[in-house]
Amino acid sequence: MVKICCIGAGYVGGPTMAVIALKCPSIEVAVVDISVSRINAWNSDQLPIYEPGLDGVVKQCRGKNLFFSTDVEKHVSEADIVFVSVNTPTKTQGLGAGKAADLTYWESAARVIADVSKSDKIVVEKSTVPVKTAEAIEKILTHNSKGIKFQILSNPEFLAEGTAIQDLFNPDRVLIGGRETPEGQKAVKALKDVYAHWVPEDRILTTNLWSAELSKLAANAFLAQRISSVNAMSALCEATGANVSQVAFAVGTDSRIGPKFLNASVGFGGSCFQKDILNLVYICECNGLPEVAEYWKQVIKINDYQKSRFVNRVVASMFNTVSNKKIAVLGFAFKKDTGDTRETPAIDSHHGEASERGLGCL
C-alpha cells in the first residue's frame, strides 16, 4: 500500500489530501501538523476551514484511509511520498524583507524529513515557493541523508478558495516538475500515477523543476494583473461617465481575453496574490531584472490605489466626514464562499475610515 504524508493541515494540505484519499481508496493518507488544536478540529464535526463540499469528502474517508495526526515523525518516516504544505509568508525582517518568501517553516519540515527517514522518499513541494527552493531543500535532505535517497518534485496547487474541492475534482491542469534524470523521472511518474486515478492524462503536465516552481507565481501574477487592469479602468470609467461593468463585459466577449477576473472591485485580497507578486518582484531583482520587477510592482500599486480611492469616495459621499456615522460592511472575508480574512480589502477600508475619525485602526 502506498503511503502519503502531508506536512501542514491548512487550506492546501487538508482539502488536497482529503480528495486524494477519496479518489485513491488504495492509498493511505496522513495529514500531520504540530498544531494540536488544528488537528483536533480536523478530527471533529467542526472542521478548521470552511470550503463548500469539504465536510462530505472528509467524513467519507476519515478513519478509513485518511488520518489527521500530530505525530509528525511517525507518519513522515512511514510515508513513500511526503507533501510539504507549510506556510511561506513574506519575510518581515532581514534580507529581502517585505518581498522575499520566508522559508523558515519549509526548512524545519525538510530537517524533520531528513532526521526521521529510514527509507527512500519522494518529497513534494506543495506550498508556493520561490524558484530554486528545491535546490536548498535537496541540500538539507542529502546533507543528513544517511545513505537514503530523496527525489524532490514541485507540484504547485492551483486551488481557488471557495471552489477548492471542485478545483481538485476537475482541475484545469496538474503540474509536476522534477529533475531530468532517470530517478527524477521515475519520481514524476509515481506522483502522476496518484493523480491519474481521476485526472485525465492530458491534463497532467510534466516540466523541469524550475518551470513548475515559477508557473505558480506566473499564474497568480497574471490573474492579479487582470484585476488591477480592470480596477485601473474603473477609475477612468468613473471620471468619464462610462460604466465599468459594461466595459468589462464588452472586453470579456473577445475570445482572446475572456470574461474571467474582470470584475472591478475594491481590490484583490487573500493570502496569495500580493505575497506571490512581491516574491516574483524579489526574484526578478535578485536576477538583475529591475525593469521586469517594476512592471509587476505596478500591479500591487494599482491594488493599493484602488483601496484608498474607495475609502476616499466613501468619505467624500458623506460630506468629507465620517464622525458619528455608522458604516456597515457586508462580508468581511476577501471573497465569497470562504471564511478567510487574510489581506482582505475590508481591513484597509476599515482602517481608512477609522483614521478619518482619528481613531486609529478599528
Selection from 78, 151, 155, 140 nearest residue 108 by Cα: 140
Is 339 among the annotated ligand-binding positions? no
The residues facing 200 across adjacent strands are none
pTM of the prediction?
A: 0.83
Is 269 among the annotated ligand-binding positions? no
pLDDT tens series, the chain, 362 aa:
799 999 999 989 999 999 999 999 999 999 999 999 999 999 999 999 999 999 999 999 999 999 999 999 999 999 999 999 988 777 888 888 887 778 888 888 999 999 999 999 999 998 766 666 778 888 888 876 678 999 999 999 888 888 999 999 999 999 999 999 999 999 999 999 999 999 999 999 999 988 998 998 899 999 999 999 999 999 999 999 999 999 999 999 999 999 998 988 888 876 678 888 998 998 899 899 999 999 999 999 999 988 888 888 888 888 787 778 888 877 777 666 666 666 676 666 555 544 444 333 33
Is 151 among the annotated ligand-binding positions? no
- As a whole number of angstroms, the distance between CA 151 and CA 171 comes to 25
Handedness of CA 227, 229, 230, 235 (dihedral sign): positive
Q: Write down all domains in the chain, each with its CATH number in brackets.
A: 3-199 (3.40.50.720), 229-357 (3.40.50.720)
Residue located via cell numbers 536548498: 136
| Predicted pLDDT of residue 268 | 83
Selection from 201, 154, 204 nearest residue 179 by Cα: 154
Is 90 among the annotated ligand-binding positions? yes
Q: Classify each residue of 194-232 as buried b or exposed e, where b means 16 or more C-beta atoms within 10 Å of its C-beta.
A: bbeeebeeeebebbebeebbbbbbebbbebbbbbbbbbb
Is 156 among the annotated ligand-binding positions? no
Residue located via cell numbers 526574484: 283
| Predicted pLDDT of residue 181 | 95
- As a whole number of angstroms, the distance between CA 260 and CA 311 comes to 26
Residue 228: all three cell numbers together: 488591477
Q: Return the active site residues.
A: 272
